[in-house]
Amino acid sequence: MKEDLNDQDYYLEVEAPHVTKHWKPGQFVIIMTHEKGERVPLSVATINGGRVGMFIKKLGKTSVELYREFRVGSSLYAVSGPLGKPLKLEDYGTVVLASDAVCGHAEQLGLAQELAKLGNKVISIQTFKTEKEVYPEKYLTTKYADEHYITTLDGTAGYKGHYIDLLRELVARREVKAVFAGGALASLKKLAEATAGLDAKVYALVRTIMVDGTGMCGSCRVRYNGVIAYACRDGPWFDARLVDWDDVLRRDARFKKIEKIALEKYLAR
């Protein structure tokens, strides 16, 4: 099943019972479209019986191809997982979930449900550029959170600003004990700075370029607390304030140039 979330993001649900059996919040999957495809790590948004639902942004060749050429009845070449470490969640008290892009929005759904189950008060903040980009209600974290906020950068819907701005306001007047944030890496770097003195656990989803996803290649390596960690094996969730974000941002740009070529070639086909 495939559905538009907005102009660039879409929801894709695939049958993969071998992945859903042991999946826990925090874990991700790797998919391949076809034999010649890349191994693409994706966050899990929903688990429906034996089906995995993902949020995907039409960004590179694979995501565009997947959107254009796969429909109900198509088969992915490979779905592997669950990968990564499950998050060890507990009853923290008041927890904030924050995100501003596909992977973060996806992770919120599972996290909100699990955290609520453990007794937390869950506050969800989801940031979009503008009102037009806000996801349909059923794909937002609204119904799983005790409080739910939409923020838009231009103020056309909800709070005007980024999740970091709202988070700053929240922590000033409420006792937030844990933050789980995902989405754009540059925002996560700012989040780490914004929460530097905060007496709370702050976890970030460190999205990196992976190949195998099982700790075999080191493509996803991250400078964490001074040593090298593998996002696929030791993450993908890390204490945001111990991550070397400059390192993460630099390594994320590794293939930017060459990936543009792949997309252009595909679109010109």
Partner 1 sequence: MVKKRFTPEVLSVSERLRSFGEVVLGYDYETSVREASRCLRCPLWFAPCSKACPLKVKVPAFLEYIVKGDLEAAARKVYEDNLFPSITGRVCPQEWFCEGNCVVSKIGESVSVGLLERYVGDYARENGLDEKILAEMVSKNSGVKGRVAVVGSGPAGLSVAGWLRLRGYEVVVYEALHRPGGVLAYGIPEFRLPRSVLDHELKKIENLGVEIRLNHVVGKTVLLSELTSEYDAVFIGSGAGTPKLLDVPGVDLNNIYTANEFLTRVNLMRAHLFPEWDTPINVGKTTVIIGGGNTAMDAARVALRLGSKPVVVYRRDREDMLKTARRDEVLHAEEEGVEFKYYLQPVEFIGDENGFVKAVKFEVMEPLNELDQRGKKKIVGTGRYVEIPADAVVIAIGLEPNRVLMEESGLRFNEDGTIAVDDHLMTSLPGVFAGGDAIRGESTVVEAMADGKRAAEEIDLYVRRKKELA
HSE-up of residue 181 (Cα within 13 Å, Cβ side): 28
Q: Of 215, 225, 239, 267, which one interacts with partner 1 (CB under 8 A)?
A: 215
| 68: contact with partner 1 by CB under 8 A | no
Q: Of 21, 132, 160, 174, which one interacts with partner 1 (CB under 8 A)?
A: 21
Phi, psi of 159 (to 5 degrees): -70, 140
Q: What percent of the residues of the chain are helix, what percent strand, and what percent coil, each to the nearest 5?
A: 30, 30, 40
Cβ proximity to partner 1, 142 vs 219, nearer residue: 219
Is position 103 annotated in a ligand binding site?
A: no
Cα angle 194-25-114, degrees, rounded to a multiple of 5:
85
Query: Coil, helix or strand for 188?
Result: helix
Buried b (16+ CB within 10 A) or exposed e, 176-207: bbbbbbbbbbebbbebbebbeeeebbbbbbbb
Cβ proximity to partner 1, 9 vs 65, nearer residue: 65
Cβ proximity to partner 1, 124 vs 208, nearer residue: 208
| 219: contact with partner 1 by CB under 8 A | yes
Cβ proximity to partner 1, 31 vs 123, nearer residue: 31
CB of 82 to partner 1, least distance (A): 6
Binding site for partner 1 (CB under 8 A): 18-19, 21-22, 27, 32-33, 36-39, 61-62, 77-83, 85, 211-212, 214-219, 221, 223, 228, 233, 244, 247, 250-251, 253-255, 258-259, 261-262, 265-266
